């Protein structure tokens, strides 16, 4: 366990035992960037993502006693964030509209990504060809740097499934953008 992880665990203990809001504030400061980054990439809507990130941390405050300490705290937090995201998506159509816009823009310029406008970034175009599950797993892996086991915990999927989703995701990106020799962008 790294120093950072053991400090996280100490802070979690203070929150659980003493309901220490200052310790919780420190946990938020440490992890807000990764959680917001994950949700921003997943939803492609910054203000929605930041609202969801706040909900995620409030939910984390309520449920922090369920964190067993077996995995990393950020892994557990991203699991909460993913659950919050899925719940909000079920309730709202805003997320679907954002993805539809990205998908339409990607389709209208053809399979080849060479002539796309700058308004939609490379990452958006890549994410648009992935299913929601693939998108989440790829972001957890490549943007958040989680291990396959941590992704398996966060997304509630077996490790083998995580590996095959990543393989499939990479394959789709290659096929959709006719990239040879793994050259992106």
Partner 1 sequence: MKSKIISMVDRLKDKEDLKLESLFGSEPIRDDGFSRKVVSRVRRRIWIQRLSLPIAFIVGGAIAVKPLSQLVVAVSKLRAFIPQDIKSNIDNIPFENLPPVSSILIAAFLVIAFLLAGKLLQE
Taking contact as CB under 8 A, which single stretch among the options 1-9, 46-54, 91-99, 101-109 is the one that binds partner 1?
46-54
Rounded Cα distance between 52 and 42, Å, is 11
CB nearer to partner 1: pick between 93 and 183: 183
CB nearer to partner 1: pick between 93 and 117: 117
Please report whether residue 171 would count as binding partner 1 according to CB under 8 A. no
H/E stretch holding 4 = helix 3-18
Q: Are 82 and 118 in contact (CB under 8 A)?
A: no
Please report whether residue 172 would count as binding partner 1 according to CB under 8 A. no
DSSP letter for 177, please.
Answer: T
Taking contact as CB under 8 A, which single stretch among the options 48-56, 78-86, 92-100, 109-117 is the one that binds partner 1?
48-56
Please report whether residue 120 would count as binding partner 1 according to CB under 8 A. no
In residues, how long is the chain?
185
CA angle 74, 78, 83 (to 5 degrees): 150
- Which of 8, 12, 48, 57 touches partner 1 by CB under 8 A? 57
Give how many residues touch partner 1 by CB under 8 A.
Answer: 37
Tokens describing residue 14? 């203070």
CB nearer to partner 1: pick between 25 and 97: 25
List of residues contacting partner 1 (CB under 8 A): 19, 21-22, 24-25, 28-29, 32-33, 36-37, 40-41, 50, 53-54, 57-58, 61, 122-123, 126, 138-139, 142-143, 145, 147-149, 159, 170, 173, 182-185
């Amino acid at each position: 366990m790294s120093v950072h992880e053991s400090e996280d665990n100490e802070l979690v203990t203070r929150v659980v035992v003493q309901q220490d809001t200052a310790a919780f504030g420190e946990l938020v400061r440490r992890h807000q960037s990764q959680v917001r980054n994950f949700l921003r990439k997943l939803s492609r809507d910054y203000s929605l993502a930041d609202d969801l990130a706040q909900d995620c941390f409030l939910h984390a405050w309520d449920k922090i006693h369920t964190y067993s300490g077996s995995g990393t705290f950020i892994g557990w937090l991203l699991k909460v964030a993913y659950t919050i995201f899925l719940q909000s998506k079920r309730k709202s159509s805003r997320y679907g509209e954002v993805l539809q816009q990205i998908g339409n823009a990607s389709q209208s310029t053809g399979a080849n990504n060479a002539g796309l406008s700058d308004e939609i970034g490379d990452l958006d175009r890549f994410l648009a060809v992935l299913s929601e599950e693939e998108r989440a797993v790829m972001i957890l892996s490549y943007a958040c740097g989680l291990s396959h086991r941590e992704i398996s915990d966060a997304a509630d999927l077996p490790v083998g499934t995580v590996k095959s989703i990543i393989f499939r995701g990479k394959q789709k990106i290659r096929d959709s953008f006719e990239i040879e020799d793994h050259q992106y962008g």
